[in-house]
Structure 1
Amino acid sequence: MNSNEELSELWQSQPVSDVDIAQIKQDFRGQVIKQRCYMLLDVLGMLPAILLVWLGWASFSPLAAGMLVGLGMVLLPVVGYLLWLRRIAAFGSASTTTEYLHQLTRQMQNNARIAWLTRHSAWLTPLFIAVFYLVMFVRGEMTPDRYPVVAGALLGMCCLMAVFYRWALLRERRFTRLAKQLAAQQRNSVS
């Protein structure tokens, strides 16, 4: 027996773990449901802001209303982009392991992009709100009794968003690492 035959025999004698197809399908279905729920939340998340502007329109100065409309015009494409990034997991279908692995790799890359957006929204949101209230303060459109309330809300939001930023950063790193691992696994399985 030569070394190739010995190696082949050793390889053939290795234990093989069975793939639980039912579990994979269940996990896949769970991802589909989760991503569809996230998509619904992305869209519904716009409703409170729209209602706030709609119901409080008369109380806003033209500048404040313009800033809020401008923010809305920026956020609509961002929400559209989030929905586009989630589409693979929400509406994809994979019939083979290779297709599933490819789809999972693409979704991990998209999840890293979503985490990147989340991370940057964590510092942009308090910045926008601070600028908004600073403009209102400078223009005299905010009464002095509101200063402590606004300052407290901004401080609380900054603390919350710092935690949110860290969480998104860790998610971005994790999804990037997973995407690279899956891509390497795909390359290795092809060669």
Structure 2
Amino acid sequence: MTNNIDPLNQLWQQQSVEKPDVLVTKKQWKNTQLKHRMYALLDILSLVLPFGFVLFYADKLDSFTRILLICVFALCVPFVAYLIWLRRFAIGWSSSDTEQHIQKLRKQITNNIKIAFVTKHSVWPSTLMPVVHLGGLYYLNILPLEKIMAKAPYSIAILVVVLPIVWIWANKRQNRFINDLAKLNQLLDTGSIK
């Protein structure tokens, strides 16, 4: 009898296996849930606060601005509902087994990609909003050109500073989630996690 022991197999069998730290994983998951709940709260506040502003100052706003804000509110409601719906896996799920957890994690990462995409592309309509508002105020002779020109630098400053930051942030998040999903899929395809 020959003793054919594969040295590579022996080496593989002797290596220690790192077990995942369940407490760290649970802490990371709780952190993710908290973030998504906070984002959902911010999504809701992004509707409630402007609507409250319109209601509170309705008598001080011109009709064009009031109608424009109500239209924006009406257009934003479906988007906020969609964003909260995309967060549903992270906001309140608990998994009974590893397979269920992995599938929900995969779905949430996919939804995170969609959330980042929607956030990134919401910059474009936000850019048009002050142009439509100030243009409408001028066209309808609600404000004289001098007052519009006095307000325009503030609107432009917000557009130039805030919106590129939002776009860059959302783009980075979208790319990170795409990479996270690719890594998870690779681990699942190679059988590294089951």
TM-score normalised by the chain length of structure 2: 0.87
Contact 1:86–1:110 at 8 Å: present in 2 too?
A: yes
Equivalent in the alignment of 1:107: 108
Structure 1 residues without counterparts, runs of 5 or longer: none
- Give 1:56-95 correspondences, 5 Å limit: 56-95=57-96
User: How far does the alpha carbon of each residue in 1:9-56 deviate from its partner, in whole angstroms, 9 at most, with x for none?
Assistant: 222112211211111111111211221121111111212210221122
Equivalent in the alignment of 1:8: 9
Percentage identity across aligned positions? 26
Q: Which runs of 4+ in 1 moved over 6 A?
A: none
C-alpha distance in structure 2 between counterparts of 1:2 and 1:147, whole Å: 88
Equivalent in the alignment of 2:179: 177
Please, which moves more after superposition, 47-56 or 76-85? Answer: 47-56
SS in 2 for 1:95: coil
Distance 1:20-1:94 versus aligned 2 partners, 3 A rule? same
Equivalent in the alignment of 2:47: 46
C-alpha distance in structure 1 between counterparts of 2:164 and 2:26, whole Å: 37
1:84 Cα deviation after fit: 0.5
1:184 Cα deviation after fit: 2.2
Equivalent in the alignment of 1:31: 32
The amino acid across from 1:55 in the alignment is F
Structure 2 residues without counterparts, runs of 5 or longer: none
Please, which moves more after superposition, 72-81 or 22-31? Answer: 22-31
1:125 Cα deviation after fit: 0.9
Q: Which of 167, 170, 174 is 1:168 aligned to?
A: 170
1:143 Cα deviation after fit: 3.3
Equivalent in the alignment of 1:143: 144
Distance 1:98-1:81 versus aligned 2 partners, 3 A rule? same
Equivalent in the alignment of 2:189: 187
User: How far does the alpha carbon of each residue in 1:91-139 deviate from its partner, in whole angstroms, 9 at most, with x for none?
Assistant: 1112333333322222111111111111111221121221121111111
C-alpha distance in structure 2 between counterparts of 1:143 and 1:173, whole Å: 45
SS in 2 for 1:168: helix
Distance 1:2-1:137 versus aligned 2 partners, 3 A rule? farther
Distance 1:51-1:143 versus aligned 2 partners, 3 A rule? farther
The amino acid across from 2:136 in the alignment is V
1:145 Cα deviation after fit: 4.4
C-alpha distance in structure 2 between counterparts of 1:67 and 1:92, whole Å: 38
Contact 1:119–1:169 at 8 Å: present in 2 too?
A: yes
Task: Name the structure where helix makes up a greater proportion of residues.
Answer: 1
C-alpha distance in structure 2 between counterparts of 1:174 and 1:28, whole Å: 17
Q: What count of residue pairs does the alignment treat as equivalent?
A: 190
